[in-house]
Amino acid sequence: MRIENAKIIAALRELDVELRSSSSLAELTSLAIGGTTDLLRVKKHESIPGLLDLLDSHGVPHRFLGGGSNLLVGDGELPWVVLQLTSPKPDVLLEGNFAHVDAAADLGRTVTYCAKHDLGGMEGLIGVPGTVGGALRMNAGAYGMQIGSYVREVKLYRAATRQIEILRGHQISFEYRHTSFAPDDMMLAVKLELPSKPYKEILQGIRICNEKRRSSQPLGQKSAGCIFKNPPGASAGRMIDELGLKGLSRGDARVSDRHANFFVNAGKASAKDMLGLIADVRERVHSTFKVELEHEVVIWA
Ligand code: EPU
């Protein structure tokens, strides 16, 4: 979608929002799949309510992009513009056991920065790509921990009130890969409370998680992490593997040979290829195991 209205363009400049025309979403997502649209880069949280009023009053549909690491975007010219926060510097401020982190901060760098200051707890998240805001929105987790356990406050733009608000940890529910945030709420910043731990000890935990991940996941390939959520008490990866579907392909979309719940873009896969593969695998799992797998990856198609 193109923003061509001169009034909107002037208002964006006033709000200090950068307009990048015709950006490729394939370049902004870890799957490297997705068509083009205008990208609006937001430099100040305070400009968000005005920006959304502007877009809504002109009937411009929009989506909010985090790190693009858990996202499958449709092909071609996309029917909405994309908003993305830019990260301030510094994006993490420490105060005792609290870390104040901007939503646009890189998750891995945040975990490492906190570790260097003897704040642990998030070792399991070390290899998870994406932003802190993205991890927060879907309660990212790995190796027995999830980010929600450490959240004390969240600053967000709330779609329901059209304002920036602060929520306390107890006002938010964090479940397996799910939170109580509304789909169009925007994560802006978070206050985490992390346990004190010597850096060396945290580093050891990080190394163990890295090693486990390297041995079981296709880290060097273009993917969006796990495609399906694990159903209660079962593993989507194991079920897909048991059906012998590793290596199954549609065009360049392919079920990873290393981990069957990772679908990789082995070249120039389209969203159509990837969606077809996802639907096919889901159908086969259903027909054998009578389980309806739920998408873990967010789909904008
Ligand atoms: N397994 C297979 N074949 C495979 C993959 C897995 O038999 O191709 C078996 C494994 O041997 C193991 C079991 O399935 O016995 C579980 O596998 P794994 O430990 O790799 O964990 P997972 O349940 O597949 C979950 C998360 C990952 C997270 C890992 C580590 C989900 C959907 N996945 O995977 O998160 O990294 O645990 O904690 O919750 C993600 O969210 O994108 C993601 C990758």
User: What string of DSSP letters covers 222-246?
Assistant: EEEEESBPPPTTS-HHHHHHHTT-T
Distance 262 CA to ligand 1 centre (A): 9
The predicted model scores a pTM of 0.96
Q: Which residue has the tokens 């001169």?
A: 6
> DSSP string of 251-275?
TTEEE-SS-TTEEEE-SS--HHHHH
Residue 38 CA to residue 19 CA, distance in Å, equals 7
Ligand 1 mutation pick, 72, 235, 278, 298, max ligand atoms within 8 A of CB: 235
Q: Which residue has the tokens 């902004």?
A: 28
The pLDDT of residue 220: 94
Contact 122, 150 (CB under 8 A): yes
pLDDT at 86: 94
User: Is 261 a pocket residue for ligand 1 (Cβ < 6 Å)?
Assistant: yes
pLDDT at 170: 96
Q: Cis check for the bond before 231: say yes or no (omega within 30 of 0).
A: no
- Ligand 1 neighbour 260 (Cβ under 6 A): yes
How far is the C-alpha of 21 from the C-alpha of 47, rounded, in Å? 20
User: pLDDT at position 244, please?
Assistant: 98
Ligand 1 centroid from CA 220, angstroms: 17
Atom index in ligand 1 nearest the CA of residue 212 equals 30
Nearest ligand 1 atom to the CA of 246 is 8
Tell which atom from ligand 1 comes closest to the C-alpha of 236: 24
Q: Which of 177, 228, 248, 261 to mutate to test the pocket of ligand 1 (most atoms within 8 A of CB)?
A: 261
pLDDT of 125 reads 97
Kindly report the protein residue whose alpha carbon is nearest to atom 3 of ligand 1: 238
Q: Is 144 exposed, middle or buried (0-12, 13-18, 19+ CB in 10 A)?
A: exposed
CA 151 to each of CA 119, 170, 220: distance values in angstroms, whole numbers, following the listed order: 14, 9, 30
> Alpha-carbon dihedral of residues 222, 147, 185, 99, nearest 10 degrees?
-110
CA of 234 relative to ligand 1 center, distance in Å: 10
pLDDT of residue 129: 95
- Lookup: tokens for 202: 């945290």
pLDDT at 156: 98
What residues in the chain have per-residue pLDDT under 50? Answer: none
Q: Measured in angstroms, how far is the CA atom of residue 142 from the centroid of ligand 1?
A: 9
How far apart are the C-alpha atoms of 202 and 205, rounded to whole Å? 5
- Could you tell me the distance, in angstroms and rounded to a whole number, from the CA of residue 120 to the centre of ligand 1? 23
d(CA 122, CA 139): 12
pLDDT for res 141 = 96
pLDDT digits (tens, 9 = 90+) for 250-271: 999 999 999 999 999 999 999 9
Ligand 1 centroid, distance to 219 Cα (angstroms): 13
Ligand 1 pocket member 295 (CB < 6 A):
no
